[in-house]
Amino acid sequence: MARYARTLLWILAVLMLAGCTPTRDDAPGHFVGRALTVDGHTTHYQVFVPRGARTRRGALPVVLFLHGSGERGRDGLRQIQAGLGPYLRAQARTFPALVVLPQVPEDEEWSGQNNRLALAALDTAIAEFGGDPQRQYLTGMSMGGYGSWNIALAEPTRFAAIVPVCGAVLAPRAVRPTLFVEDVAHEADPYAAIAQRLRNVPIWMFHGALDDLVPPEDDRKLHAAFQQAGAKDVRYTEYPGGNHNAWDATYADAAMWAWLWEQRR
């Protein structure tokens, strides 16, 4: 009897815990924390899981988001505090896609091992949550805008579309010499090199005209280079009164999201 009573109490405890867990299919989208290790390097990242993901038919579109300099760290949380993260919380009931949000350690860039970890997190999330390999999208802001170019050049056939926000190609200021698109640094014309290699990838760039941290000249040159290269679908939006924070307006732009979801490999 004592053994039966203990078993019954265990079952009741499990049922009570299950009742405390939000399992309703109409529950809002939410963030879940994950960690992985690649070649001895561990990263903590977040995945936004949209409403109804458990019962939705078919694979989910998936977005890889690269944060800016201010969100660097090792807590696995700061990267959801600016840029796409706040928009996802505000749209938790309607945002239709998985979003993978990795994090770069302090004083590092989106390059090398950090990019490999980001892509590994993306692959892991696709496998765990049922992401659609044909509908992978890449976006990043500021430092993450640079990272978007770095990753896209390394994986030119992977993403259905790219949305770099207030990024650039060359280092924007002398105090930040490590912030540049490394893959084309040796090219005489890095803008033409990017345009030639990514001319078949749908891209929509966004920048503030008054940006004094990462000036918009590089995005203007990139857009011209893509036009010269006969790019398939490359767009550029410049906010006339906008400064460095171009991300809030970009991620709140319904037209951008409608365009993005139309793209697939």
**Cα–Cα distance measured from residue 58 to residue 213, given in angstroms and rounded to the nearest whole number:** 42
> 173: buried, middle or exposed (CB in 10 Å: 19+, 13-18, 0-12)?
exposed
Share of the chain above pLDDT 90, in %: 85
Query: What pLDDT score was predicted for residue 24?
Result: 57
**Cα–Cα distance measured from residue 159 to residue 265, given in angstroms and rounded to the nearest whole number:** 7
Looking at the structure, give the CATH architecture of the domain made up of residues 27-262.
3-Layer(aba) Sandwich (3.40)
- Nearest CA-CA partner of 103 in 35, 32, 38: 35
| pLDDT 10s digits, 94-103 | 999 999 999 9
Query: What pLDDT score was predicted for residue 53?
Result: 84
Using CA atoms, how far residue 102 sits from 109, 159, 205, 220, in Å, is: 12, 17, 21, 28
Share of the chain above pLDDT 70, in %: 91
* Residue ranges per structural domain of the chain: 27-262
pLDDT > 70? residue 59: yes
